[in-house]
Structure 1
Amino acid sequence: MLTMLRPALVLLAAFTVITGIAYPLVVTGFAQVLFPFQANGSIISKDGKPVGSALIGQLFDDPRYFWGRPSATTPFPYNGAASSGSNFGQANPALHERVASRLLVLRVADPSNTEPVPADLVTASASGLDPHMSPSAAQFQIGRVARSRGLDEAKVRALVVDHTEGRTFALLGEPRVNVLRLNLGLDELR
């Protein structure tokens, strides 16, 4: 029995050291050297203080700011510890209620805007944490944000264009706007 147990325990100890200690340390070391911004949470700072992550959305509901996609996380929006979508299908009445509620909020916030509301402003992403919105979602909000801040719409539109990211490697995904970075840029406008 001991002859069979000894090799098993030696292998358990060896693989614990290799996969539980050595491998994570090597991967963490490479990540810190090659990709320090991403390895440390993609934290965005303002005046030397962290204000959020480039990878996790935040709730903005002040009319002076651009609003991102709704979040389906619980118990509060953009809860990084509870990443999930709503899992509501198109036929689910709860989805229709949420979309109608969000449409109402957007229309009340900017009654003069009669443009069609982009889908990503009324539906949550699969993770519920999406930090981006489509350029059309940003364009939809330019009038409200400019009026709320007393800014020229052309200036705000130019800011949106400056903050629009293209496709990854010029072919993956869709153009997008990081909501936090756009709002920080907005705060810098005078």
Structure 2
Amino acid sequence: MNISNLLRQHWAALRLLLVLTVIVGVAYPVFIWLVAQIPGLSAKADGSIIDANGRPVGSSLIGQSFTDADGNPLPQYFQSRPSAAGDGYDPLATSASNLGPESIVDTLGDPALPEDDNGAKSSLLTLVCSRSKAIGELEGVDGLRPFCTGGGVGAVLSVFGPRDAKGNVVDPTRVVSVNEPCDTVSTPFVDVYEGVRVECAKFGEDYSAGQILPVRGNAPAESQVPADAVTASGSGLDPHISPAYADLQITRVAKARGVSPEQIRTVVDDHQDGRTLGILGEPRVNVLELNIALDEQYPATG
């Protein structure tokens, strides 16, 4: 290949690069941006930003926490559902916990280390139980739910002993409450199981050789704390809560704002959305939009 042919081919390639750069790198993005500015689309294209008192406070598409510096719920605000995205509602770390329904045994922390760095890891069951207990205390209702102890951890036993053909222990010789460490409880959630005294768990011991049995307990089948109040969404960014969870919080918010529950309920109803297209999803309440409306209509009294 001579020099002239080589230069001609490189010049053709350079011209093609320039043309595609203009079309794909400039014209197409500008076209998409112009389409996004069409009335009805522009708000969503710009992030569905919500303003309050002339400044942006968040997006209607991304949830956020309404807590104080220590992470405690602010009583005058409706609380969002839990989030597993980073430290909570982090768009750069959107994710779920990846814990499934079989996650029922906690990893106990080393009691010799600080609580925030002792290696402890809660199972999904204990996360649900602890959240339900905390919400029950916050809202003044019974937060107990099936398979949870009164202390807010998963009610799970490891039962040792001979087994039948199906793998079930038939004559227990030892029973351990695997999610209740000895250094935090005086007695397990149940004293005796099939005639055997129940022990509390100890850090460093392996109880996996026993038959792992979740204990339902005497909690009602339907907890007073809704499921979306104790479980995170798949993205960790869900800005909505169910009408049932919103209803649970009305009394607290009304008291904190010095108004009647009926007044708060009216605002909640005004910010409740139905199913998308009438058939998709469930009715829902946007927490940020609701709290902003409350600040405008009924500012907190203290």
TM-score, L = length of structure 1? 0.89
Matches within 5 A, 1:141-160: 141-160=249-268
Per-residue CA deviations over 1:26-65 (Å, capped at 9, x if unaligned) read: 1011102342211111111111111111111010121211
In the TM superposition, what is the alpha-carbon distance from 1:9 to its structure 2 partner? 4.9
Per-residue CA deviations over 1:102-138 (Å, capped at 9, x if unaligned) read: 1122022122467621111111111101111111111
Identity of aligned residues (%): 49
Segments of structure 1 that go 5 or more residues without pairing to the other structure are none
Aligned pair partner of 2:93 in 63, 82, 102 = 82
Alpha carbon RMSD of aligned pairs, Å?
Answer: 2.0
In 1, the alpha carbon distance for the partners of 2:259 and 2:274 equals: 26
Corresponding residue number in structure 1 for 2:129: 100
Q: Which moved more, 1:48-57 or 1:34-43?
A: 34-43
In 1, the alpha carbon distance for the partners of 2:64 and 2:254 equals: 21
Matches within 5 A, 1:1-40: 2=6, 9-34=14-39, 35-40=41-46
Question: Structure 1 pair 112/121, CA: closer, same or farther in 2 (3 Å)?
Answer: closer
Aligned pair partner of 2:55 in 41, 49, 52 = 49
In 1, the alpha carbon distance for the partners of 2:22 and 2:129 equals: 54
Specify the SS of the correspondent of 2:35: helix
Corresponding residue number in structure 2 for 1:58: 64
In 2, the alpha carbon distance for the partners of 1:12 and 1:164 equals: 51
Specify the SS of the correspondent of 1:157: helix
In 2, the alpha carbon distance for the partners of 1:134 and 1:77 equals: 19
Aligned pair partner of 2:228 in 120, 129, 134 = 120
Runs of 4+ aligned structure 1 residues displaced above 6 Å come to none
The answer to whether the 8 A contact 2:75-2:252 is kept is: yes
The answer to whether the 8 A contact 2:43-2:49 is kept is: yes
Give the total of aligned pairs.
Answer: 189
1 or 2, which has the higher strand percentage?
Answer: 2
In 1, the alpha carbon distance for the partners of 2:103 and 2:9 equals: 57
Corresponding residue number in structure 2 for 1:73: 85
Question: Structure 1 pair 22/95, CA: closer, same or farther in 2 (3 Å)?
Answer: same
In the TM superposition, what is the alpha-carbon distance from 1:10 to its structure 2 partner? 4.4
Residue type of the alignment partner of 2:282: E
Specify the SS of the correspondent of 1:50: strand
In 2, the alpha carbon distance for the partners of 1:14 and 1:91 equals: 56
Per-residue CA deviations over 1:85-114 (Å, capped at 9, x if unaligned) read: 112111113211221221122022122467
**Does residue 166 of structure 1 match 2:274?**
yes
Specify the SS of the correspondent of 2:38: helix
1 or 2, which has the higher helix percentage?
Answer: 1
Matches within 5 A, 1:169-180: 169-180=277-288
In 1, the alpha carbon distance for the partners of 2:141 and 2:52 equals: 33
Segments of structure 2 that go 5 or more residues without pairing to the other structure are 67-72, 105-122, 144-222
Residue type of the alignment partner of 1:106: I
Which structure would you say has the larger Rg?
A: 2
Residue type of the alignment partner of 2:243: P
In the TM superposition, what is the alpha-carbon distance from 1:19 to its structure 2 partner? 2.2
In the TM superposition, what is the alpha-carbon distance from 1:170 to its structure 2 partner? 2.3
Question: Structure 1 pair 97/7, CA: closer, same or farther in 2 (3 Å)?
Answer: farther
In the TM superposition, what is the alpha-carbon distance from 1:176 to its structure 2 partner? 0.9
In the TM superposition, what is the alpha-carbon distance from 1:17 to its structure 2 partner? 2.8
